[in-house]
């Protein structure tokens, strides 16, 4: 399950997605509760995408912001029925999470070591997600939030090496460029091709441990809405 990733560099929005650069600041790495850019269907121009800031971790209208610690990933097998996700799924509130890479724990050494996974050709990773809207957040303003979709990866040549021994292996749903618009529109929601594991040969992974935590700065210590 992905709880830490690097949002795409701002240049990727124009070079890869054909969008203007994100008009807001966001942290260089994202953890649950952080604000990060997501892409969804434009609310102004049909057939186009827009980039919006959203909280990493789904927070439906009835929930406290702390729920984001548990809802940053949604299983494709249960996303349509789980209370935290089913409203967004039913309403076709689909999004793309643009990422430079994502991180997973590797236990080969006997303890968790963070590894970085990225595209073998240094392309952005376009993660399939869902988004939700909450009318009032901690500051009284509306909050948009999102979750990344995951599939089983028990037999994936690369992703099977992550997470604790004995645990089910999971991986993110990664989209191809020709799937972007169909996913955002909801046209591909029942297309099995979307939920196929991304080819292992198109990904690379290496150890990339987190720097030692300081007492004053814990990247996962607070769930205030975080932006740069």
Average per-residue pLDDT for the chain: 91
Whether the per-residue pLDDT at 220 is higher than 70: the answer is no
Residue 98 near residue 13, CB atoms below 8 Å: yes
Both tokens of residue 116? Answer: 């970085």
Residue 86 has pLDDT above 90, yes or no: yes
- Spatial CA neighbour of 63 closest among 40, 22, 33, 38: 33
For 208-218, the pLDDT digits (tens) are 998 877 554 44
pLDDT by residue (tens digit) across 178-187? Answer: 999 999 999 9
Largest CA distance in the chain: 51
Quick count: other Cβ atoms within 10 Å of Cβ 23? 9
Q: Percentage of the chain with pLDDT > 70? A: 92
12 pLDDT tier (thresholds 50, 70, 90) = confident
Domains belonging to the chain, first-starting first, are 5-207 (3.90.1680.10)
- What are the φ and ψ backbone dihedral angles of 160, each rounded to 5 degrees? -70, -15
Using the structure block, give the residue that is written with the tokens 């409203």.
87
Q: What DSSP state is assigned to residue 10?
A: H
Mean pLDDT of 46-72: 94
Q: Whole-model pTM?
A: 0.91
Instruction: State the sign of the Cα–Cα–Cα–Cα dihedral 186, 12, 68, 144.
Output: negative
């Amino acid at each position: 399950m992905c709880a830490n990733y690097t949002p795409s560099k701002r240049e990727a929005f124009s070079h890869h997605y054909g969008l203007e650069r994100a008009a807001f600041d966001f942290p260089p790495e994202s953890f649950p509760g952080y604000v990060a850019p997501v892409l969804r269907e434009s609310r102004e121009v049909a057939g186009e995408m827009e980039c919006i800031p959203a909280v990493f971790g789904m927070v439906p209208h009835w929930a406290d912001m702390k729920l984001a610690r548990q809802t940053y990933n949604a299983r494709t097998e249960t996303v349509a029925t789980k209370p935290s996700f089913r409203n967004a799924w039913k309403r076709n509130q689909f999004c793309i999470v643009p990422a430079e890479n994502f991180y997973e724990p590797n236990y080969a050494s006997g303890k968790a070591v963070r590894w970085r996974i990225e595209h073998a050709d240094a392309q952005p990773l376009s993660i399939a997600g869902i988004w939700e809207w909450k009318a009032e957040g901690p500051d009284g303003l509306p909050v948009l939030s999102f979750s990344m979709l995951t599939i089983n990866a028990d037999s994936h040549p690369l992703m099977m090496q992550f997470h604790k021994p004995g645990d089910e292996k999971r991986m993110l749903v990664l989209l191809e460029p020709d799937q972007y618009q169909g996913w955002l529109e909801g046209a591909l929601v029942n297309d099995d091709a979307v939920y196929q594991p991304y080819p292992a040969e198109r990904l690379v992974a290496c150890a990339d441990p987190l720097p030692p935590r300081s007492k004053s700065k814990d990247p996962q210590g607070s769930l205030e809405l975080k932006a740069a």
